[in-house]
Structure formats: C-alpha cells, structure tokens
Chain A
C-alpha cells in the first residue's frame, strides 16, 4: 500500500529538548515536504526536498532542520523546541511539486511543547 508514515503521532515535550519526527514514504517519490498546520493559518511549508541531499526552506523554516540522506526518509528536527512550535505537523511526498504530481500526506504528528 502506497503511504507516508510519520512517527510519533503524538508528542509532548519540554522547551529545549531536542526531538526528531520521522517521515518515510514507500512510493519512490523524489519530492518530500514538511508542513505545519495551525488554526486560522492553514498549512505552511517548513522545508522541502527535491531529491537526496537537496533541501530548501519553505515559508516558515526558523527553528527547524531537515535532512535527506535517503530517498524514502525525510526527518524533521527541532534542535531546541519552543512553545510556539506547538502545532500539527504533516509530511508529504510526490514526484514533484507541480503539474499533476499529487502530494500524498502522512497522518500528522501533534506536537505540544511546554
């Protein structure tokens, strides 16, 4: 089954404690992306990756890091989480960002930073 998986699904942590949210896809997609979703703000792109070892900032990259060492994995790293990073996070993958390359989204990770 084609899917994007994220772990963990729920996480409560404290300010400053480094954390990683994993994302994996089994569709051999080149394009992967992280979004955060906040009430009233919709989805905002944090980082995206066009291929292995190629990553670029989205609209809200501050406080986040990503890596793309393998095609299937695209972890999101919060080196020093802060309360304003409390949000619902989605990973997505596709063959490209445009032109009939539909993005598949993971189930989401709800992060709370206290």
Chain B
C-alpha cells in the first residue's frame, strides 16, 4: 500500500558518533522525500529533502540517501550531539497528488 515506515522505533547513539535513521517506502510513484525532526512539545521541523532523480543530498551535518531500487531512505547525522535528541520522521509526496504521507517516526536517544 501507500505507506512510509521505519525499521527501528528507537535508536540509541553515543554522543559524537554518527547516527543513521532508516525509512522504507512502498510506493514507486513517490518522487519527493522529506526528513523532519520533532523535539518534545514542538511541531515537526524540516531537516532536508530529496527528489527521486537524486541518490544523495547533503546539508549541514546531515545527509539523506535514497535507494530507489529497494525503496529505502536514510538520514545520516554526523557527530551526533545532545541537541539531536528527537523523533525523526520521513515523509513522501506522491507524484500524482499533493498529499504528504509520514512514517511513524524513530526516536533518537543520545548517550553521554
């Protein structure tokens, strides 16, 4: 079906290490993907996006990788910091309409 999901509900990472958050999508018609960060008590905040004609996109300390062959999306956070603690959502937009579909989220926990 048209859904976006995540492999792990909770990810614990040592401060300073790199974090990798994964996301699987099922609709091959999706051609735009977004990662959001949601801190406790706040609304989601845009992190980075990628179109389906790209495999990789980099931002400040973040990289999104898209593997269309296996319908997999990942968010890499370099040198994870305490401020990175949050729930991370991937979302997709399907080419034929204007809906945005969110995954269920992964909680990133930073270990001191």
Contacts and interface: CB of A to CB of B under 8 A. Distances in A.
A59 B44 contact: no
Given A99-B32, A105-B43, A48 B98 contact: yes
Given A98-B93, A106-B43, A42 B105 contact: yes
Most buried by A among B44, B46, B100: B100
Contacts of A103: 34, 44, 46, 100
A56 B34 CA distance: 21
Interface residues of B, number: 23
Contacts of A48: 98-100
A59 B2 CA distance: 11
Nearest to A108: B43
A38 B64 CA distance: 26
A19 B90 CA distance: 31
Contacts of B104: 40-42
Interface of B: 31-32, 34, 41-46, 49, 51, 89, 91, 93, 97-105
